Amino acid sequence: MQRLLIVGSGDVARRAAPWLSQHFRVFALLRRPDEAEDWRQLGVTPVLGDLDRRESLGRLAGLADRVLHLAPPPREGSRDTRTRHLLAALGRGQSLPWGLVYVSTTGVYGHCEDALIDETRPCRPASSRARRRVDAEQTLRRWSRLNGRDLVILRAPGIYAAERLPLERLRAGTPALLQAEDVFSNHIHADDLARACCRALFHRGGGRSFNVVDDSQLKMGEYFDLVADHFQLPRPPRLSRAALAEQLTPMQQSFMAESRRIANGRLKTELGLRLAYPTVAHTLAGLPPV
């Protein structure tokens, strides 16, 4: 049985773990020892280490045949030092894993206005957060090319699930953009992203990228309205961009500064993923309203 290393052991990794443990001998890199038992219950062997401390990653060399890399970059800087530390720790030559799947973000495309874009769109990141993701992608492509290893890049947008909906934001009455100024946003259910990760591990990809988005074509305010209506909460007030600048954090404002409509044809035809949650509306219809 092949060995798989999960790096970035959060919600999506936990959703994928039951299936992965049936097809691989799975290891998960953990920062906190108190999480180890939960992962053992999922059939996963914990490996303690911290991507911010390269010296803690000594056990990773030669450990896995394949890697599922879901860890985000650091919160500051222009480079993803965590990905660099991971690649350095994985070893050299024949000890390297034969394939790696990296979960990136659709934010790498930057502001695209209302154009429908696919994976051929050049990366033009506008935020430092997205620039660190582009740096990770480029670093991984160089590693793949120099070592002759498979690489698949999954670009995901806002991840949601029944327990990952903006209910607190709605209850707090946080405003959204006026309809005339609103931006397109994109979504993927956490379970569908987990399934895409599993499929990508078997895809022979020389740096191939996939937009892992659902079929929703929603502007951000429309998304908030859908959730509010389903849970019988007040719709968020709508304000101009200038007025919002006085009420929202810089992080919240950054998400409202870029508009993207993203196509998912390659995900369906080449990776062969059939979405279990094709739209946000479809998902909400299956949830109790309270």
How confident is the model over 143-150, as a mean pLDDT?
Answer: 95
At residue 252, the pLDDT reads 78
- Residue 228 confidence class, pLDDT cut points 50, 70, 90: very high
Task: Count how many residues are written for the chain.
Answer: 290
The residue ranges of DSSP E strands in 143-234, in sequence order, are: 150-156, 158-160, 176-177, 184-185, 187-189, 206-211, 218-219
For residue 205, pLDDT beyond 80: no
For residue 254, pLDDT beyond 90: no
How confident is the model over 108-125, as a mean pLDDT?
Answer: 95
- Residue 140 confidence class, pLDDT cut points 50, 70, 90: very high
From CA 222, how far away is CA 94, in angstroms rounded?
Answer: 50
At residue 206, the pLDDT reads 81
Task: Convert the pLDDT of each residue in 13-39 to its tens digit.
Answer: 999 999 999 999 999 999 999 999 999
At residue 112, the pLDDT reads 93
From CA 257, how far away is CA 183, in angstroms rounded?
Answer: 8
How confident is the model over 202-212, as a mean pLDDT?
Answer: 91
For residue 93, pLDDT beyond 80: no
- Residue 255 confidence class, pLDDT cut points 50, 70, 90: confident
Task: Look at the alpha carbons of 135, 139, 140, 141 in this order and tell me if their dihedral is positive or negative.
Answer: positive
At residue 161, the pLDDT reads 98
Q: What share of the chain in percent tops pLDDT 90? A: 89
Q: Which residue has the higher pLDDT, 165 or 253?
A: 165
Dmax over CA atoms of the chain, in Å, equals: 58
Query: How far from 217 is each of 12, 140, 179, 263, 273, CA to CA, in Å?
Result: 23, 31, 15, 10, 19
Domain extent listing, the chain: 3-162+188-213+262-275
How confident is the model over 207-236, as a mean pLDDT?
Answer: 97
How confident is the model over 71-79, as a mean pLDDT?
Answer: 95
At residue 244, the pLDDT reads 87
For residue 290, pLDDT beyond 80: no
Judge contact between 173 and 136, C-beta under 8 A: no
Q: Which fold has domain 3-162+188-213+262-275?
A: Rossmann fold (3.40.50)
How confident is the model over 261-274, as a mean pLDDT?
Answer: 97
From CA 99, how far away is CA 245, in angstroms rounded?
Answer: 43
How confident is the model over 226-242, as a mean pLDDT?
Answer: 96
- Residue 245 confidence class, pLDDT cut points 50, 70, 90: confident
At residue 83, the pLDDT reads 98
Predicted TM-score (pTM) above 0.85: yes
For residue 173, pLDDT beyond 80: yes
